């Protein structure tokens, strides 16, 4: 039987809804679940720019009501909780500054364009915070594996509100990052859950520490490919010669 690690990264939004399902999955003796999250839930205050319906401000005061010890009793092998605002928010804002400078200079001033730029800045910070957490949760998994002399055959990298309901493990391609195909032409694959070998998911998780270098030396190329969540990820994997294998919902379902 394959030994599986599930690495969950990001906010605990909808955790109350999914915690029973995660406990059922963790009850399997061949599956270990790791979590790296922020100290706020990820809930939003509401629309702050009426010109764009998807632009929201997060409620950073809405802290999660769970401790690390409590979460470990709910099926997680190891847990990390970090405070997001203002320390990490300011850190991420500084890291995307080269991209932000490119956007600020790329078009003449216009109130509507400026509002869209503000939205895009928050989008970039959210993008960076997500990949930071993916990097950190893989560190938890890697440390546990080395400490307990465990070899994981398959690693899943996803979000706490994305529960794998059906995975055909015999369909997983070992030398690729396995993801579900997207539903439209703008996003040809879904990055909510990635499945692969331990070594490939390690490379996948290193997008964050390598991202600052890319922002500094290739800001235009990076900025032009952040209009969708998978844009920069595809570039990153291509640079590492790591193929992407697309699955239908029948073989990779969540």
Give the burial class of 238: count Cβ atoms within 10 A of its Cβ; 0-12 exposed, 13-18 middle, 19 or more buried: exposed
Give residue 176's Cα distance to chain centre.
Answer: 18
The whole-number pLDDT of residue 53 equals 44
Q: Which of 215, 207, 147, 151 is nearest to 177 (CA)?
A: 207
Confidence grade of residue 7 (pLDDT, cut at 50, 70, 90): very high
SS3 88: helix
Domain boundaries, the chain: 4-42+61-82+132-253
Q: And the tokens for 2?
A: 């394959």
**Side-chain-side CA neighbours of residue 165 (13 Å):** 7
Q: What is the average pLDDT across 42-61?
A: 58
Q: What is the pLDDT of residue 55?
A: 46
What is the per-residue pLDDT across 106-145, written as a single tens digit (0 to 9) for each? 555 544 445 445 556 677 788 888 999 999 999 999 999 9
DSSP labels, 224-242 = HT-SSHHHHHHHHHHHTT-
Question: Token match 């520490």: residue?
Answer: 209
The CATH architecture that domain 4-42+61-82+132-253 belongs to is: Alpha-Beta Complex (3.90)
């Amino acid at each position: 039987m394959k030994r599986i690690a599930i690495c969950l990264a990001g906010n605990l939004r909808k955790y109350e809804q999914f915690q029973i399902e995660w406990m059922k999955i963790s009850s399997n003796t061949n599956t270990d679940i790791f979590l790296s999250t922020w100290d706020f839930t990820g809930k939003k205050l509401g629309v702050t720019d009426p010109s764009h319906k998807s632009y929201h401000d997060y409620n950073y005061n809405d802290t999660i009501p769970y401790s690390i010890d409590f979460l470990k009793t709910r099926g997680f092998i190891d847990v990390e909780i970090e405070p997001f605002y203002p320390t990490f928010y300011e850190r991420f804002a500084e890291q995307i500054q080269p991209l932000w400078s490119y956007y600020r200079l790329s078009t003449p001033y216009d109130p509507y364009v400026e509002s869209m730029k503000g939205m895009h800045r928050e989008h970039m910070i959210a993008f960076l915070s997500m990949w930071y957490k993916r990097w950190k949760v893989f560190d938890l998994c890697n440390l546990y594996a080395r400490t307990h002399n465990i070899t994981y055959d398959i690693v899943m990298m996803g979000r706490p509100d994305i529960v794998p309901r059906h995975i055909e493990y015999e369909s997983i391609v070992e030398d690729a990052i396995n993801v579900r195909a997207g539903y439209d032409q703008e996003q040809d694959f879904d990055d909510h859950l990635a499945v692969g070998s331990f070594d490939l998911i390690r490379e996948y998780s290193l997008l964050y520490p390598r991202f600052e270098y890319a922002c500094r030396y290739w800001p235009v190329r990076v900025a032009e490919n952040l209009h969708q969540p998978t844009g920069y990820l595809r570039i990153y994997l291509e640079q590492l010669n790591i193929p992407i294998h697309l699955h239908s919902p029948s073989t990779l379902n969540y």
